[in-house]
Chains A and B, each alone.
Chain A
Amino acid sequence: MVHRALALLAEPRRAVVRMHLAGYERSEIAELLGWSEPKTRNLLYRGLADLRRILASWGIGPGPSPARGGSNHE
């Protein structure tokens, strides 16, 4: 489901979220894509928000997690 949801993201956000979920650091994402750290951070933040919104619309909610949302970016 995550991959199906990813496919619905806008291209730059999809790329940065994919790399994030694959375990790359933000600095690595910025390096590979030639982006600044703030741009990378912004796209990642928005991309993850989009991803969660899509999953939530499919009934896949936050589920049990240690903190509300539990994200490093929210």
Chain B
Amino acid sequence: MNDERLREAYERGLPVGNDAPTLDDVQAERLRLLVEREGSEGERLRTLDMMLSTAEGRRELDIAWAAARAARPHRRSWQGFAVAASLVLVCGTSVVWMARRQHARDVDVLRGVESPITLVAPVGLVAAPRATHFAWRPIARAERYQLVVVDTTGAELYAIETRDTALALPDSVRLAPGRTYLWWVQATLADHSTVTAVTQRLVVAPR
């Protein structure tokens, strides 16, 4: 059986559950240790085995790994970010969709994976100090950007317009450890049309 056939058989046998993240706090911490290469090798191998045993686990791994790479300042891989963007959990819940609609003021809005705005960080499981620092890649003809952060109920935590492509949340906005948040960026272009990034998911690492 060659590699291709092995891969096909492997993919066919991969359990697929629902799209909701299923990691508990302990698993999330193990995942963080894996992607940040901390802890014992045996523990990291067991975590890897667990993550790759389901399609959802693999997606969680990809997101967390992309975030860990982003946190290494001299080893950034933009290709990794692109892969992460394509693997990002697009929160299709109606709550999030409705939250986004409240911010969509123009009809000329791009959504989905075609969006040219790449959200860089924070993505996936992120340690608390880094969770409040947002960054995205600039796009041509953008005059300003709107950053929106919501929780999983769709409640808006923070929204601000800026000409920069990176900013930190003010101290008044607190992200709770172990909680999941969603964020996106909407760019307003010179012709007043808007372009919206794919929603990113951020999980603040438990203490």
Contact = CB atoms under 8 A, between A and B. Distances in A.
Contact of B13 (A1, A66, A69): A1
A60 B1 contact: yes
Contact of A62 (B2, B41, B53): B2
A24 to B, nearest CB: 9
Contacts of A66: 2
Nearest to B37: A34
Nearest to B10: A21
Given A12-B45, A22-B52, A70 B7 contact: no
Chain B binding surface, main DSSP class: helix
B4 to A, nearest CB: 7
Interface in B56-90: 58, 65
B34 interface: yes
Interface residues of A, number: 33
Give chain B's interface residue range (CB within 8 Å of chain A). 20 to 34
A21 B2 contact: no
Contacts of B10: 2-3, 6, 21-22
Interface of A: 1-3, 6, 11-12, 14-15, 18-23, 32-34, 48, 51-52, 55, 60-63, 65-67, 69-73
B30 interface: no
